[in-house]
Structures are given as C-alpha cells and as structure tokens.
C-alpha cells in the first residue's frame, strides 16, 4: 500500500512586521483535497506536526475566501468527520520519512511562522530531497524549504524549479502590506528557479526531479492527482466519455441520485442511502446467480462538476464522474480505479460466471451506463419537444 506523510503547520498565528499576530493555521482546501484524494486512492495517510500539536484551520479558508458556500460547508463536514485523525497528529520528531512513499506539505500562512524556521522539518526536507523520493510542497508550504540546509550550509533547494504563492496572489490579502516577507521573493533570493502560472488563483503545478510544487489553494487537487498518477499503478482502471444532451446540473442530479443507479448500470441493480448524501448500499449482480451487496462512501460531490465514491473492502474501488459543459450538453467521463488486485476467491467466482477478463467486462459496463444516460436525456428532450405548444 502506498503511504503518504502529510506535514502540517502547528502555528495558529503569523507575526507581522508591526509585531501583531495575525490568526492563521492551515488552509482547509490544501489539507482536505489531498487527504480525500489520497484516501480515495487507497493510500495510507499519516498526519504529523511540530511537537505533535493539533493543527488549527485558518478560519478564512472556511469563509468566502475559501470558496462558495457549498464548498466550505463540505470542508466543515469533512473536518468534522476526520477530527480524530486531524486532532491527533504524530510529532514530527518521531517520524522517519524513509518509511513513506510520499511526503506532502499543505500550506496556509502557518508554515511562514513555524516550518520556515523549524530545524527538524528542515532536516527532514533536506534528506527527502536528496533521497530522490517524491516530496510535495503546496502554496505557502514551500516556506518550509527555507529551513533546509545542506551540511556545508548551502540551501538544499538551490537551483530547483519550483512554484509557490506568488506576490500578486499574496497581495490580495488585506494584511499583506504588513507581511515581514513575501514567499516568491524569498525563494528567488535563496536561489530557487521560481515560476508561476499565467493566471493568478488558477491551478498551476511544477515538477523538477522528485520535487512537486503547487502555486495556490486551487492547485491542491491537481497536485494530489499528479502524485497519484505518477506513483499509482492501479490493478484495474477503466474509463469512458460521452456527451449527454442535458445541462451539467441535470446530469449531476441524475448521477447523484443513487436510487436511480439501477436504471443505468448493467451491474448495480439498485441502491439506497444508509446516510443521506454520504453512505449508500448497492445491490449488484452478474448473470442470474452471482449477486452481492457493497457499501460505499461519497468522497466528492460538487454539483454540476464531480460525483465520486469509494466502495468498502474487499472491493476498495473508486468510481468517479466528471462533468464538463460543452456544445450540445455535458461531457461526462466515468472512471473506476482499483488499487489492489482482486482477491483470489472473487476471481474464481467471476471466472465461474463467465467473466474471465474483468477489465473488459467493466469497460463494457461503464460504456453501457453512459450510453443509457445519453438515451435517457435524449428521450426526455424528445418528450419535451413533443409536448411543447405548436
């Protein structure tokens, strides 16, 4: 199983140049989105902070600065669900980073206060960079790199191409005029090959050797997905895309209503909510005799854009629907990724019922599901036109 160490700032303020302490912490999106995606990919996640202190979420990241209300409500819910894990981090001094496949630092202004001068974190980053194993720093988290020194006193990250929150983006914060330093400037001064995306506040990531960096909160999911794509080798992965003749809102409503799943999927015959909007139980079948039930947890639900869920063990499979408005309706991409190989008894049963190539069988099922969605909305459109006054 792939493992990831997420190192989070323990600071709950940032000392500005007028000696006032600006309340801060970690930025919600930058911890939640990677945590959710790594978990969905089946990765083992460990949270660590300096001193093992429970990290503080920056309240601004749960308000308008953090996104639209439905997005920040979801973040609040996720923080509540993961409170046991997030509130009991491992002390960074007790960590051996060699035990992890990935080391990931989310941002927020917190790292500007503690990780930028933390010798334990600095030493970890120096070792990790030299190991050749993946290291990822997001938004303000590259500030932690400032504490990374080689034995000869030189900066460990000198010459690395990297990104981080730009000066232009930082200056959008009302308190930035009192910032003791700006991250873009410091990284360039220390010797980084700093680069930034063409449009502020849009996703932008950079990879140089084993160093992965993301520019801003909007880069959170993109950076996590890049790591998963580069490290992941799913045992089973299929996808298909169709253009559905309906708006993203209407298509999302249909997909999100898991009680309708039996209308479209050739394998999942029905489903019901165990916990509305979060957990559901599906009934599945292949042929007349092979039937089973499977519980699943919704891991992403962004109206009009994304609906994804992960099935419980032993399936442990992530199913994802991505929606994009195009001419003629909505482009829908359905994908599934299973990290671990199918258990031998299940493979035997599948062979017995005639499914000797599970990947081909699932690919056909995904395409059938999308074709049925297209047919459904095509018929709805036809009936609307037929009923329209002439």
Write the pLDDT tens digit of every residue in 252-307: 999 999 999 999 999 999 999 999 999 999 999 998 889 999 999 998 898 999 99
- C-alpha to C-alpha distance for 197 and 71, rounded to whole angstroms: 24
- C-alpha to C-alpha distance for 263 and 369, rounded to whole angstroms: 9
pLDDT category at 386 given cuts 50, 70, 90 is: confident
pLDDT tens column, 58-116: 999 999 999 999 999 999 999 999 999 999 999 999 999 999 999 999 999 999 999 99
How confident is the model at residue 168, as a pLDDT? Answer: 97
Distance of CA 324 to the CA centre of its chain: 18
Q: Are 301 and 360 in contact (CB under 8 A)?
A: no
pLDDT category at 233 given cuts 50, 70, 90 is: low
- C-alpha to C-alpha distance for 173 and 176, rounded to whole angstroms: 5
Rounded to two decimals, the pTM is: 0.64
Q: Are 27 and 61 in contact (CB under 8 A)?
A: yes
Q: Are 247 and 369 in contact (CB under 8 A)?
A: no
Of 73-77, 160-164, 343-347, the least confident: 343-347
pLDDT at 151 over 70: yes
């Amino acid at each position: 199983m792939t493992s990831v160490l997420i190192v989070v700032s323990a600071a709950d303020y940032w000392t500005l140049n007028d000696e006032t302490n600006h309340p801060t912490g970690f930025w919600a999106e930058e911890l939640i989105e990677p945590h959710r995606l790594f978990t969905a990919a089946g990765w083992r996640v460990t949270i660590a902070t300096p001193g093992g202190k429970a990290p503080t979420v920056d309240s601004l990241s749960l308000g308008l600065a953090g996104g639209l209300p439905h997005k920040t409500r979801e973040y609040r819910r996720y923080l509540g669900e993961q409170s046991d894990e997030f509130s009991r981090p491992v002390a960074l001094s007790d960590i051996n980073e060699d035990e992890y496949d990935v080391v990931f630092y989310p941002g927020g202004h917190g790292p500007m206060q503690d990780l930028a001068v933390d010798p334990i974190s600095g030493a970890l980053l120096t070792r990790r960079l030299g190991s050749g194993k993946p290291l990822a720093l997001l938004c303000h988290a590259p500030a932690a790199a400032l504490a990374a020194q080689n034995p000869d006193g030189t900066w460990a990250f000198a010459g690395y191409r990297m990104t981080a929150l730009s000066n232009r983006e930082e200056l959008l914060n009302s308190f930035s005029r009192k910032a003791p330093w700006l991250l873009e400037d410091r990284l360039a001064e220390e010797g980084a090959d700093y680069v930034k995306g063409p449009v502020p506040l849009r996703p932008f990531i950079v990879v140089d050797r084993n160093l992965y960096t993301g520019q801003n909160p909007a880069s959170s999911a993109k950076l996590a997905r890049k790591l998963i794509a580069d490290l992941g080798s799913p045992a089973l992965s299929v996808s298909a895309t169709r253009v559905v003749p309906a708006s993203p809102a209407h298509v999302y409503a249909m997909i999100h209503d898991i009680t309708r799943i039996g209308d479209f999927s050739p394998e999942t015959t029905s489903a019901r909510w165990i916990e509305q909007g979060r957990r559901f139980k599906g009934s599945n079948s292949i042929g007349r005799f092979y039937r089973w039930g499977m519980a699943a947890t919704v891991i992403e639900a962004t109206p009009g854009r994304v609906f994804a869920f992960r099935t419980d063990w032993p399936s442990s499979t992530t199913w994802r629907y991505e929606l994009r408005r195009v001419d003629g309706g909505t482009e829908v991409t359905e994908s599934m990724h299973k990290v671990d190989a199918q258990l031998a008894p299940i493979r035997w049963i599948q062979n017995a019922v005639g499914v000797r190539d599970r990947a081909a069988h699932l690919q056909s099922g995904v395409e059938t599901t999308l074709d049925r969605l297209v047919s459904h909305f095509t018929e709805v459109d036809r009936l609307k036109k037929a009923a329209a006054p002439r």
